[in-house]
Chains A and B, each alone.
Chain A
Amino acid sequence: DIQMTQSPSSLSASVGDRVTLTCRASQSISSYLNWYQQKPGKAPQLLIYAASSLQSGVPSRFSGSGSGTDFTLTISSLQPEDFATYYCQQSYSALMYTFGQGTRLEI
């Protein structure tokens, strides 16, 4: 199985900060990497697909980059509604999708 490791597990930041979250795959997954945002009590929402493509309706302050094993999600200027948990997910192995353990972004 392809393991996904996110760092840090939690992060404290302030409104207006620029933050970068990291996701690492246990083997190369090309650009088959997606990012989701989950707020408490809610379902995850797709932010970024294929490592760097912004999902329709997602604010442009979110961006993704990377390929192979190392990926990042950057929020250019944190807004109050961005405080949530973020998950990466690989789809290189479409027979076994795996998620990272999540990064909790706190105020």
Chain B
Amino acid sequence: QLQLQESGPGLVKPSETLSLTCTVSGGSISSSSYYWGWIRQPPGKGLEWIGRIYYSGSTFYNPSLRSRVTISVDTSKNQFSLKLSSVTAADTAVYYCARLDSGGWYFDLWGRGTLVTVSS
């Protein structure tokens, strides 16, 4: 059974770079034609899509975050990663990694999420 698990620091200082990794277990990240994505949710608020990546490495990002976001994939480790630079308190959120179906239309499998707080 495929599972996703986010990992990374829970506290990041303002102006620094937030780095998270999503480890895929129970299956290969590159064995099927799925997309992989990141979504975040500020405390008490709604969901915001950050970006997505195909196992080949092609990416699409939310235009509002594009200048600060990098998503990459490491098929040898069965992981994909998120980097968000120049963070502020507004980037404090629960960050989820998720799988999109092969058409890239919907998020059918989610990680549990990890809270990242931006504070000095």
Contacts and interface: CB of A to CB of B under 8 A. Distances in A.
Count class of interface residues, chain A: 20 to 34
- Chain B residues touching A, majority SS: loop
B107 interface: yes
Interface string B45-71: 011110000000000101100000000
Contact of A49 (B98, B106, B110): B106
Contacts, number: 54
Interface string A38-75: 00001111100110000100000000000000000000
B110 A96 contact: no
Given A32-B105, A46-B108, A95 B49 contact: no
A83 interface: no
B80 interface: no
B111 interface: yes
Interface string A16-34: 0000000000000000101
Given A91-B105, A94-B104, A99 B113 contact: no
Contact of A55 (B48, B108, B113): B108
A34 B46 contact: no
Given A95-B60, A96-B62, A96-B63, A89 B48 contact: no
Count class of interface residues, chain B: 10 to 19
Nearest to A53: B106
Given A94-B60, A95-B60, A44 B105 contact: no
29 contacts: A34-B105, A34-B106, A36-B47, A36-B107, A42-B112, A43-B96, A43-B98, A43-B111, A43-B113, A44-B107, A44-B110, A49-B101, A49-B108, A50-B105, A87-B46, A87-B47, A89-B47, A91-B104, A91-B105, A94-B60, A94-B104, A95-B60, A96-B62, A97-B49, A99-B49, A100-B46, A101-B46, A102-B46, A102-B47
